[in-house]
């Protein structure tokens, strides 16, 4: 009874590298908190990773790595369904079917697609306006032998299927994924109205309450991101981590009391606020305000406080990675649960679309 009333949540992560503090505070840590009260489905989006991956061995290792990191951060396979996307072949089949209701125009206008297509072609975004015509010309490949793979274009279809095949109603995603979620809603509405059915609920962004956590990188500006090269990884060993923090960008220091903070220094304080005790944060704020601050001291403290968070996680990651049987058992059970619901939805979709047994 209780079980079936819980809200269905789906969230995927592309296995393209190790998880960092931004992933932890922005997503993982929050997932851990909601897994008791909701029907949570967390998966490793290896098929999505294929749209940009080039090294099969690295992809395989990353699937395992991210899985271990999820478990080490506290995602509990007894509470949440945790699986690998490609272990649920129903997703691939429904992806083919849903593509029949998706327009290439709407896919081409997606911001993430444009961004990745430009990267694949090695061209930079136009500085003024959006030169769609020239861009489309490039994508078609009239003037280059570089290719934008079709999987990149249909990425949003696959993501919509991940969500709709579980009939999820809430999807925790970052800001950069909101457009994909909007497309998912549109595809759900379109399918329902085209066939005159009420099959798919329209999913919305999961609201964790409060302001979204922004985790800055160590390079002075912007957020932590693996392509930015400014990350603290959950698996960084203490030596590496301390070195990274000590090298973080700062400025020359405040010259007059109560100076405004430059972005690099404000970023260090943001990290401090995430990981340190309130009195520690206050101590350094006061030191900044009266110009007595030494950034070296702040960084030393920050590194130790981050280590207090990451060390137990890193140790668990290592234990879990060493236990292949456990990892296999987790994804086998997860896939079984995910497939049960996926197969039921796929059967409905096939029937509705007219793909029926003779």
- What is the contact surface with ligand TRP in residues (CB under 6 A)? 10-14, 45, 48, 159, 162-163, 171, 173, 177, 180
Q: Catalytic: 5?
A: no
What single-letter DSSP state applies at residue 251?
-
Helix (H) or strand (E) holding 11: strand 8-13
Residue 212's SS3 state is coil
User: Helix %, strand %, coil % for the chain, to 5?
Assistant: 60, 5, 35
Q: How far is the CB of 136 from ligand TRP (least distance, A)?
A: 23
Q: Which residue, 13 or 235, is less far from ligand TRP as judged by CB?
A: 13
Task: Give the integer Cα–Cα distance in Å for 234 and 335.
Answer: 26
C-beta separation of 20 from 232 below 8 A: yes
Sheet with 8-13, edge to edge strand ranges = 81-84, 39-44, 8-13, 170-171, 204-205
Q: Terminus-to-terminus CA distance in the chain, angstroms? A: 37
The two three-digit tokens of residue 117, written as one number: 């297509």
**Residue closest to ligand TRP (Cβ):** 12
Catalytic choice (119, 214, 226, 300) = 226
Question: Rounded to the nearest whole angstrom, what is the least distance from the CB of residue 245 to ligand TRP in the complex?
Answer: 26
Catalytic pick from 30, 116, 244, 299? 116
**Closer of 173 and 321 to ligand TRP (Cβ):** 173
Closer of 11 and 267 to ligand TRP (Cβ): 11
Q: Which is nearer to ligand TRP, 165 or 298 (CB)?
A: 165
Q: H-helix or E-strand containing 344?
A: helix 324-353
Residue 128 CA, chain-centre distance (Å), reads: 30
Closest distance between ligand TRP and the C-beta of residue 285, in Å? 34
The answer to whether the CB of 255 falls within 8 A of the CB of 291 is: yes
**Cβ-based nearer residue to ligand TRP, 226 or 316:** 226
Active site annotation includes 116: yes
Residues facing residue 40 across a β-bridge: 9
Beta carbon of residue 270, minimum distance to ligand TRP (angstroms, whole number):
22
Task: Choose the catalytic residue: 79, 119, 223, 300.
Answer: 223
d(CA 53, CA 118): 16
Q: What minimum distance in Å lies between the beta carbon of 46 and ligand TRP?
A: 10
CB of 330 to ligand TRP, least distance (A): 19
- C-beta closer to ligand TRP: residue 52 or 323: 52
Q: Look up 214 and say whether it is catalytic.
A: no
Which residues are tagged catalytic?
Answer: 116, 223, 226
């Amino acid at each position: 009874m209780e079980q079936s009333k819980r809200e269905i949540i789906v969230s995927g992560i592309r296995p393209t590298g190790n998880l960092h503090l931004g992933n932890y505070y922005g997503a993982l840590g929050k997932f851990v908190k909601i897994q008791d009260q909701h029907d949570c489905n967390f998966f490793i989006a290896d098929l999505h990773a294929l749209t940009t991956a080039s090294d099969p061995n690295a992809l395989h290792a990353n699937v395992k790595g991210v899985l271990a990191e999820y478990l080490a951060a506290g995602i509990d396979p007894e509470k949440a369904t945790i699986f690998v996307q490609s272990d649920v072949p129903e997703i691939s089949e429904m992806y083919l079917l849903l593509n029949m209701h998706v327009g290439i125009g709407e896919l081409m206008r997606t911001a993430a697609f444009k961004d990745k297509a430009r990267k694949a072609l090695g061209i930079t975004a136009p500085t003024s306006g959006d030169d769609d015509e020239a861009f489309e010309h490039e994508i078609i490949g009239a003037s280059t032998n570089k290719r934008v793979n079709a999987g990149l274009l249909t990425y949003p279809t696959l993501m919509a299927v991940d969500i709709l095949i579980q009939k999820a109603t809430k999807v925790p995603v970052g800001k950069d994924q909101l457009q994909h979620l909007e497309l998912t809603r549109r595809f759900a509405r379109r399918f329902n109205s085209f066939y005159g059915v009420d099959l798919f609920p329209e999913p919305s962004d999961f609201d964790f309450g409060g302001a979204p956590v922004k985790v800055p990188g160590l390079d002075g500006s912007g957020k932590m991101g693996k392509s930015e090269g400014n990350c603290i990884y959950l698996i960084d060993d203490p030596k590496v981590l301390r070195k990274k923090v000590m090298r973080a960008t700062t400025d020359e220091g405040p010259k007059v009391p109560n100076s405004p903070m430059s972005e690099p220094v404000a970023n260090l304080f943001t990290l401090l606020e995430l990981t340190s005790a309130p009195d520690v944060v206050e101590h350094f704020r006061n030191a900044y305000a009266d110009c007595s601050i030494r950034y070296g001291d702040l960084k030393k403290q920050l590194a130790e406080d981050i280590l207090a968070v990451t060390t137990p996680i890193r140790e668990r990651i290592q234990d879990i990675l060493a236990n292949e049987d456990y990892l296999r058992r987790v994804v086998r059970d997860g896939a079984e649960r995910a497939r049960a619901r996926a197969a039921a939805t796929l059967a409905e979709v096939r029937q509705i679309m007219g793909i029926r047994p003779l």
